Amino acid sequence: DTGVSQDPRHKITKRGQNVTFRCDPISEHNRLYWYRQTLGQGPEFLTYFQNEAQLEKSRLLSDRFSAERPKGSFSTLEIQRTEQGDSAMYLCASSEGRGLSYEQYFGPGTRLTVT
């Protein structure tokens, strides 16, 4: 399977703990995106990488959130001192990023539950 993969698929953690999620994009894609989706809502943009450069961060991405893409391939999203409001599905997507038109391929998501 050469699609976008995310790990873990599910994570249950206690409030105050740190969690880290991994995303492996499609290999030839140079753009990578993180979204958060809560029940009944559309995905909300969090951040975006062009190769290893983090080009955009949403205001939703508080200082407890950090994302990296060190070699322009896989990416990690870390949430420090988790809160119950962080419970959501965290989606990763990648795209070729050529020109203005693009198609984002999404991974299956990581469902985070903060107890």
Partner 1 sequence: LAKTTQPISMDSYEGQEVNITCSHNNIATNDYITWYQQFPSQGPRFIIQGYKTKVTNEVASLFIPADRKSSTLSLPRVSLSDTAVYYCLVGETSGTYKYIFGTGTRLKVLA
Given 88, 91, 112, 114, the residue binding partner 1 (CB under 8 A): 91
One character per residue 28-67, x = contact with partner 1 (rule: CB under 8 A): ---x-x-x----xxxxxx--x------xx-----------
Nearest to 21 by CA among 76, 59, 71: 76
Q: Quick check: helix, strand or coil at residue 69?
A: coil
DSSP 61: S
Q: Beta strands of 10-64 (E only): which ranges?
A: 10-13, 19-24, 31-37, 44-50, 53-57
Nearest distance in Å: CB 8, partner 1: 14
Q: What are the residues binding partner 1 (CB under 8 A)?
A: 4, 31, 33, 35, 40-45, 48, 55-56, 89, 91, 93, 97, 100-109, 111
